[in-house]
Amino acid sequence: MDIRTDVSLKPYLTMQLGGNVHTMVDLYTNDDVVAVCTMARQQQTELFVLGGGSNTLAQDSGFAGIVARNRIPGFSVIAEDDASTTITVGAGEILDDVVAKTVASGLSGIEALSAIPGTAGAAPVQNVGAYGQEIADTLVSLEAYDRQQERFVVLSAADCEFSYRHSIFRGREMGRYIITSITLRLRKGLPQPPFYQAVQDYLTSHTIAEPTPQDIRQAVMTIRANKLPDPAKLPNTGSFFKNAIISSEAFAQLQQHYPTVPHYALADGRVKVPSGWLIEQAGLRGSVLHGMKVHDKNAVVLINQSATSYRDLAAAREEIIRSVKKKFGITIVQEPLEMPAA
């Protein structure tokens, strides 16, 4: 377990904003997890677990406790039958590396999660998803250290209480568990339609009638490259706002004024409306607010063009939220997690 003190958070967060953390620890084993939890308890300080830093923000005051970077490795096949293969993956593995390995083996279920930055262990926290797939679709269970009970536990997918970009890990049990591995059941054979419209458009344009997992991966990577800036070149956290989920009645009113509004009907009767579309219709696409640029190709993405502080980001965020609320009466919500301020 590597321990450092008074470390700038900026290099570890893809938005490249935030102050210093008092202590930073890298975790490579389950023993490291127990050790850092013991350290936090003995020092009576807060503990924040960080994955790839692609969906996390820190304030200018930094973090007064311990930031533990989850680097636990591992990839193994634990079960297999004629229809599926079940794998267990260390929480510190890079999610896209996991996708690449499974796709290369002809397995389907997470190929649409290609090119999403971050670690495997962070995927269940916000139930990462893209282009018609979510990690909840394939997750069987996960292992985690329960800081309340001070022991390792196995949680089923049902225990995680997954919903759109949400789980118990960023809800009522935030901070209780440190995920050490995830177990996924993936399908053998070809991915099954219907596919997300942008993916289907790619397949059609490339005359691919029966796509393999690799075809879907390539489609998603191409789409993402055209819509989402590389955080290594342009600091960002990917989608900064969750898509808006509104009642069917509210959507009917919206559609009266905007007949071509993009949307997706949910099973519970509500309707998902892309926040990027709302932001664009509010006239903000391509604008620069307090040093934060609303991406001109995908308005749900905020790029740190010249912001020097979290305060700049917060001001831009609130201005966007106010503008969308004023125009549509819809309140959009930030997607990235935030470390508690020091």
> Beta strand pairing status for 56-57 and 337-338?
parallel
Helices marked H in the chain:
30-43, 95-104, 157-160, 197-205, 213-227, 248-257, 275-281, 310-328
The token pair at 212 is: 């393999």
Q: Can you tell me the distance from the alpha carbon of 230 to that of 298, in angstroms, rounded to the nearest whole number?
A: 13
> Beta strand pairing status for 2-8 and 20-27?
antiparallel
Amino acid at 141: S
Burial of 255 (0-12, 13-18, 19+ CB in 10 A): middle
Pick left, alpha or beta for residue 291 (phi over 0 → left; psi -120 to 50 → alpha; otherwise beta).
left
Q: Can you tell me the distance from the alpha carbon of 310 to that of 314, in angstroms, rounded to the nearest whole number?
A: 6
In the block, residue with structure tokens 């890079």: 94
Out of 167, 239, 275, 323, pick the active-site residue. Answer: 239
Please count the helices (runs of H) and the strands (runs of E) in the chain.
Answer: 8, 21
Helices marked H in 119-196:
157-160
Q: What is the DSSP letter of 137?
A: G
76 catalytically annotated: no
**Residues listed for the chain:** 342
CB burial of 4-27 (b: ≥16 within 10 Å; e: otherwise) equals eeebebbebbbbbbbbbbbbbbbb
Out of 165, 224, 270, 285, pick the active-site residue. Answer: 165
Say which residues have a Cβ less than 8 Å from residue 225's Cβ, sequence separation at least 6: 115
Q: Can you tell me the distance from the alpha carbon of 210 to that of 202, in angstroms, rounded to the nearest whole number?
A: 13
Out of 161, 319, 335, 338, pick the active-site residue. Answer: 335
165 catalytically annotated: yes
Q: What is the DSSP letter of 53?
A: S
Q: Can you tell me the distance from the alpha carbon of 41 to that of 180, in angstroms, rounded to the nearest whole number?
A: 19
239 catalytically annotated: yes
CA nearest neighbour of 27 among 80, 62, 72 = 72
Catalytic residue positions, numbered: 165, 239, 335
